[in-house]
Amino acid sequence: MSMAQMRSLLTSFDLQTGLSPDRPSIQRRLSAMAGMFYNEARYAEMLAEEDSLIYEFYDMGVPAQAGEIAFGTSITYPGRVGDEYFMTKGHFHTILETGEVYYCLRGQGMMLMENPEGRWEAQSLTAGAAVYVPPRYAHRSINVSPTDPLVTFFAFRGDAGHDYGTIETKGFRKLVVDKAGRPDIIDNPRWKEA
């Protein structure tokens, strides 16, 4: 059977780096994160110095259908903007009633979640931790290690879709910041009601 006839997929993701030799990643640099970090002055200073890579992930392009499973790895690099750790933008699923699982391969981090009704939850990501993001919860990966990338393998329904706009507009209710060398969950001073 030739590759072209195959419906199954085989893709490698390095267990340490999270990177795949088989296809390009989608990269989010500091310049793509305008408005996401609460210390805007520090964000501007850092961006003037270097447009650092904040995170990258893979989109395997499985069909956007309810019976398919989208999957890949996500790698969030270590660093901070002021006292706020590097993180992903975070998003709701367009089909809100769909969940997602993240299996942490390496690093130290947190999964921050909130639903439209105002509930929020946070779980620790360490190597070997599987975190289940239930349906209806926006979710963001946060790297709290000073040195190591945060590497996760994720899976969600093929048709779930990504709603980035809600978080870009409103932000998350909570932020995760460094406080004397340890992660601390604080209220987001810039959070807006819809």
Binding footprint of a second copy on the chain (CB under 8 A): 1, 6-15, 60, 62, 65-69, 71-72, 95, 97-101, 103, 105, 111, 113, 119, 121, 123-124, 127-135, 137, 153, 155-158
Toward a second copy, which CB reaches closer, 53 or 101? Answer: 101
Toward a second copy, which CB reaches closer, 47 or 155? Answer: 155
What is the C-alpha to C-alpha distance for residues 6 and 111, in angstroms, rounded to an integer? Answer: 35
CA terminus-to-terminus distance, the chain: 53
Min separation Cβ 183 and a second copy, Å: 15
What is the C-alpha to C-alpha distance for residues 12 and 72, in angstroms, rounded to an integer? Answer: 10
Toward a second copy, which CB reaches closer, 43 or 57? Answer: 57
Min separation Cβ 180 and a second copy, Å: 23
Q: Which of 102, 85, 70 is nearest to 33 (CA)?
A: 85
Min separation Cβ 29 and a second copy, Å: 25
Toward a second copy, which CB reaches closer, 81 or 87? Answer: 87
Q: Counting Cβ atoms within 10 Å, is residue 115 exposed (0-12), middle (13-18) or buried (19+)? A: middle
Min separation Cβ 15 and a second copy, Å: 5
Toward a second copy, which CB reaches closer, 47 or 127? Answer: 127
Min separation Cβ 125 and a second copy, Å: 9
Q: Cα dihedral sign for 159, 53, 113, 187? A: negative
Angle at 175 between CA 151 and CA 57, to 5 degrees: 25
